[in-house]
Structure 1
Amino acid sequence: MAADRRTRILNAAEELFAVDGFDGTPTARVAEAAKVPKGLVFYYFPRKIDLLLTLLQERLPTPTKDTLAGVVRRGDPAGSLLAMHRRLGMEDHDSLVLRTIIFRESGTHPEVRDHLRQLRRSLVELTEEALDRAVEWTVAKTLRRRAAETFVSVMLDHANARRSGGALPDVQGAATVVGLAVAAPGPA
């Protein structure tokens, strides 16, 4: 029962923050939408910012190396990147609302900006790890980082374009280009 109320509070906050913004949503409206007393919101989330940070941490967590289990194929960096992209599900509908919140609030709330930076950093590191596992030789550190940053930029742009209804970048094409960039052995 307690977990259900906490989940209802998070669900309501996510929807309201996406529509009206964090600063434009009073906690009383969150409580009303969640059908809980206002005091219960503060019981679970002592400060309003704690509610936003919990949404980010629980519903858009930074990925771990476990994400790569079963998706990386040695000798197929492009296919491995695409499989990782699918596993991450960055464009899934459930996280689209959160991305609306993140991109809106990152300019005014340093905690949100920090989470976004950490998410991007972890995605780059994960992509570098995927490339290390997929490529059959040692890729130069600088090239590996640039390749990972390029692919992550396309993944994030793809997720954001899905949210905003814009033209979708070609994730498959980006994976192919990155795969070709790391395909030839070079100096480590």
Structure 2
Amino acid sequence: MMTAAASGRPSKREAIIETAERLFADRGYDATSTALIAHEAGVPAGLVFYHFATKLDLLLAIVHERPTPGEVLRTAARGRSVHRRLRAVVSSMAEELERNRAARIIVFREAQARPEIAERAAELFDEATTTVAEILSGAEDVVAEPDRVRTAADLIVSRVFLDIIALGQADTATKRHAAMIDLIEESLTTPHAE
């Protein structure tokens, strides 16, 4: 007997998560019933509660079970120079945020009303900032102090997240951020007098 994973189809649990993610992003958490999720996923309504004790547990699964920024960005640490690493980070962040756009929209929207989601959003933002700072610190031409590198990472993560999630502009992220990349590169590679 072939399993769902072996056949390339998502498991029923994953189908529920994917459907809920799409519906929560399109309609909002409060406007989406578990009955609608089950119907759209093609599963019995009780199966939603078999896998998730509450609708909130389903929402939390969406935001916890997607790739984290650290997992995605560590693969972006290509190149030895700050400039190459900045371009790779911006490009990777934009691609990943766009690929998981629905989950990011949900986090952005639901963080306002749900402390559990706001906490997860803060964790994801901090992880992304820490990872970008580590990537930039590893460049061979960095001369900036760790605090300046962390501030640069914070700026990058904030700006790319805003552009992709709030403004929906993923396709030209690296090109649009060329001036920011140049400014940050100069800030991190030029010695500064205190």
Q: Conserved in 1, the CA contact under 8 Å of 2:90 and 2:156? A: no
Structure 1: distance between partners of 2:184 and 2:37 = 44
- AA aligned opposite 2:64: Q
**Which residue pairs with 1:175 in the alignment?**
181
**Which residue pairs with 2:77 in the alignment?**
71
Deviation per residue, 1:96-127 (Å, 9 max, x gap):
22222122111001111111111110111011
- AA aligned opposite 1:82: R
Aligned length, in residue pairs: 184
Is residue 49 of structure 1 aligned with residue 62 of structure 2? no
RMSD: 2.6
List gaps (5 residues or longer) in structure 2.
5-9
Moved >6 Å (runs of 4+) = none
Structure 2: distance between partners of 1:119 and 1:181 = 25
Q: Conserved in 2, the CA contact under 8 Å of 1:100 and 1:163? A: no
Percent identical pairs in the alignment equals: 28
Is residue 31 of structure 1 aligned with residue 77 of structure 2? no
**Which residue pairs with 2:148 in the alignment?**
143
Structure 2: distance between partners of 1:177 and 1:78 = 10
List gaps (5 residues or longer) in structure 1.
none
Structure 2: distance between partners of 1:173 and 1:127 = 18
Structure 2: distance between partners of 1:127 and 1:135 = 15
How far off its partner does 1:156 sit? 0.8
Query: What TM-score does the superposition give when structure 1 sets the normalisation length?
Result: 0.85
Which is further off, 121-130 or 94-103? 94-103
1:155 corresponds to which of 145, 151, 160 = 160
CA 1:62 to 1:53, structure 2 compared with 1: closer, same or farther past 3 Å?
Answer: farther
2:135 corresponds to which of 130, 134, 137 = 130
Question: Within 5 Å, which residues of 2 pair with 1:92-131?
Answer: 92=98, 94-131=99-136
- AA aligned opposite 1:178: I
Query: What TM-score does the superposition give when structure 2 sets the normalisation length?
Result: 0.82
Q: Conserved in 1, the CA contact under 8 Å of 2:107 and 2:121? A: yes
Is residue 90 of structure 1 aligned with residue 102 of structure 2? no
